[in-house]
């Protein structure tokens, strides 16, 4: 099966489309990743990952409930807690701009509903005199219909 026909792949690409290049702190773009390449060199970033899919099909058609996690991470001397709060506010404004909005996906799926089910900010992960670190996890649940393609 081509990766385009996988629900989690379609959602990660959809969130990349929505977020990449659209989030900034202090005039600097916050990069968005869907794999680990390049993350270690960043002070601030957003990481998109799938956390699970559950079949929710009825007799006709195929439906899936899928969870996607957006991890916002900030570390380094120039970072403080307001950075992570600012990034999270921008992310939430993009993914929840109005009731009924859904992440865009490819021609194999239709997102019927989505909702933030978890939004948790961890306390400082590492605190020393030069490099504090903060993490915030936003988990979105999606109800997805698989579209029949010939």
Q: What is the pLDDT of residues 132-149, one digit of tens each?
A: 788 999 999 999 998 876
- Pick the more confident residue, 6 or 21: 21
- Which CATH topology does 3-146 take? STM4215-like (3.30.2000)
**Contact call for residues 83 and 134 (beta carbons, < 8 A):** yes
Q: What is the pTM of this model?
A: 0.88
Task: Say how far apart CA 100 and CA 111 lie, in whole Å.
Answer: 10
**Contact call for residues 91 and 36 (beta carbons, < 8 A):** no
Task: Say how far apart CA 43 and CA 87 lie, in whole Å.
Answer: 13
**Contact call for residues 33 and 45 (beta carbons, < 8 A):** yes
Q: What ranges do the domains of the chain cover?
A: 3-146
Residues 71-107: pLDDT tens digits?
Answer: 999 988 888 889 999 999 999 999 987 777 889 999 9
């Amino acid at each position: 099966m081509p990766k385009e026909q996988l629900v989690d792949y379609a959602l990660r690409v959809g969130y990349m489309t929505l977020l990449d290049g659209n989030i900034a702190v202090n005039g600097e773009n916050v990069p968005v990743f869907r794999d680990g390449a390049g993350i270690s060199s960043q002070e601030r970033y957003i990481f998109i990952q799938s956390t699970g899919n559950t079949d929710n099909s009825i007799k006709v058609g195929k439906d899936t409930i899928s969870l996607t996690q957006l991890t916002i991470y900030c570390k380094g001397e120039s970072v403080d807690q307001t950075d992570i709060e600012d990034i999270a506010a921008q992310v939430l404004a993009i993914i929840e701009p109005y009731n009924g909005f859904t992440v865009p996906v490819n021609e194999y799926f239709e997102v019927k509903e989505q909702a933030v089910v978890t939004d948790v900010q961890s306390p400082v992960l590492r605190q020393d005199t030069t490099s504090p670190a903060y993490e915030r996890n936003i988990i979105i649940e999606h109800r997805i219909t698989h579209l029949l393609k010939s």
